[in-house]
Amino acid sequence: MDDILTQVNRLGVCSDPSPLRLSLINDDLIPNYVSENTRVIINDVFENSVPDNIKSFEVAGPRENIYFDPSKTRAAIVTCGGLCPGINNVVKSIVTELSRGYGVRSIIGFRYGYAGIVPDYGHDVIELTDQVVKDWDIKGGSMLGSSRGPQETSKMMDALERMNINILFTIGGDGTLRGALALYKEAQKRNYRISIIGVPKTIDNDIDFITKTFGFETAVAKAEEAIQSALVESEGAPRGVGLVKLMGRHSGYIAAHASLANGNVDAVLIPESPFIMEGENGFLSYIEKKLASQGRAVIVVAEGAGQDLLSEVNSTDASGNKKLSDIGIWLGDQLLAHFNKKATKINLKYIDPSYIIRATKASPTDAIFCRRLGENAVHAAMAGKTGMVVGLWNETFTHVALETAVSSRKVVDTDEALWRSVLQMTTQPPTFV
């Protein structure tokens, strides 16, 4: 952790008083500004003694003085990558905080991701006002539209400069944040004073140093509904097997949390825990025993699990991610073939709710979270912060440098409590080997 960047850059001195009219005094019934010196410790659990050089993040929130003059500020918002519950909530929050809180009157939305910034594609921009976004938070998807894949950084920065954009909010996952980091570095190279603020969006919840990303709780709730359907199907036929494939290219957080929420899952397969199919300790033998003991089985598999067992796909998607083989279809075929050979046929029901989950609107809890993320993104931008994302750490909203956010990927630690709870609930062995 010694090489983790914990300081966020600032465009310059904040000389203008904030228009928010908050307080610096405790217990006066008025919410307070956040001091620049307020920090949250990154690791608050120490096995031995507390180290002297404790790493910490800036705490997010409104500052007493701001960098940008709201009357002269032009802000823009872009949403990138796959759909995720809560995108529209974040956009609405940013627009309303900019306009109502700070009095910014020039806000635009780029259509269809980073491609919308590049003039070559011919996508029109949208002028965003309170009236335009008033009901966006009750809709799923992205009202701005989205796209995958990188764009030429210099072309995007040229366009931003021509449009006199002072603040760019980028809402997206790992690829989007890497694009934001490239823009931040290009702005530094040009000495262009633009605030680049990321709002992390990944339904897989796999961005490091961020406890939770928006849409994750909604995804878990909808995924649990799919698991419940699989359970009902498995109980509705002799030797019923309900198989559910969920999102999770590299991290099994949705699979683990949704399975725990349901409480009736017999096996959870995630990318972090390799498995084998055949043999006494293999996955198929375990399912045999489950069917023998209880007459049904419910299986949850993350999309990135078991890729070493499948034929490799030698291609990538528009974002440069390696395309995955379909573990859900493959696993179902393997189960059917195995039990057909044994003359003990199963009734298999396969459910893949991925696009239903991605397109749904945010749950109440996620909607609140999105609102606060958007507000804190605006507070950071108006204070001249740049090259950062708004995160949540130790139940506190924080400023995380883009370089830190994209430095590694968060995965389920199979030594820790979450995976232990999954194993205790399913009674599956720690590994199928």
Q: Quick: pLDDT tens for 324-366.
A: 889 999 999 999 999 999 889 999 999 999 999 999 999 999 9
More confident residue, 314 or 328: 328
Lookup: tokens for 123: 């996508």
Class of domain 216-357: alpha beta
Residue from 187, 178, 127, 177 nearest 156 by CA: 187
- 89 — pLDDT class (breaks 50, 70, 90): very high
Q: Write the pLDDT tens digit of every residue in 93-116.
A: 999 999 999 999 999 999 999 999
Query: What is the per-residue pLDDT for 211?
Result: 92
**What backbone phi and psi angles, to 5 degrees, belong to 398?**
-135, 165
pLDDT score at 42: 81
pLDDT above 70 for 313:
no
Residues of the chain with CATH 3.40.50.460: 216-357
pLDDT at residue number 311? 77
**Amino acid 2: pLDDT:** 57
**Global pTM value:** 0.89
Triad 31, 86, 208: Cα angle to 5°:
80
Span 167-174, average pLDDT? 96
Alpha carbon distance 27, 328 (integer Å): 55
Residue 406 CA neighbour count, 13 Å, CB half = 19
CATH class of 9-213+362-405: alpha beta
What percentage of the chain has pLDDT greater than the value 70?
94
What's the confidence (pLDDT) of residue 4?
Answer: 74
From start to end of 277-357, where are the E strands?
Answer: 296-302, 347-351
Q: How confident is the model at residue 314 (pLDDT cuts 50, 70, 90)?
A: low
- The H or E element that residue 379 is part of is helix 364-382
Can you tell me the mean pLDDT for 161-183? Answer: 96
Whether the per-residue pLDDT at 47 is higher than 50: the answer is: no
As a whole-number percent, the residues of the chain with pLDDT over 90 amount to 83
Lowest-pLDDT range of 29-33, 43-47, 137-141, 172-176: 43-47
Q: Is the pLDDT of residue 319 over 60?
A: no
pLDDT, residue 5, reads: 78
pLDDT of residue 15: 93
**Range 304-323 average pLDDT:** 74
In which residue ranges of the chain is CATH 3.40.50.450 found? 9-213+362-405
pLDDT of residue 176: 94
In the prediction, which pLDDT does 307 show?
93
At residue 48, the pLDDT reads 52
The catalytic residue positions are 204
Calculate mean pLDDT across residues 33-55: 71
Q: What are residue 23's DSSP bridge partners? A: 32
**Of 136-140, 209-213, 312-316, which range is least confident?**
312-316
270 has pLDDT over 70: yes
| pLDDT value at 317 more than 70 | no
Residue 320 in this model has a pLDDT that exceeds 70 = no
List Cβ neighbours of 29 (8 Å cut-off, separation of 6 or more): none
Cβ–Cβ < 8 Å for 364, 350: no
d(CA 320, CA 326): 18
* Per-chain mean pLDDT for the chain: 92
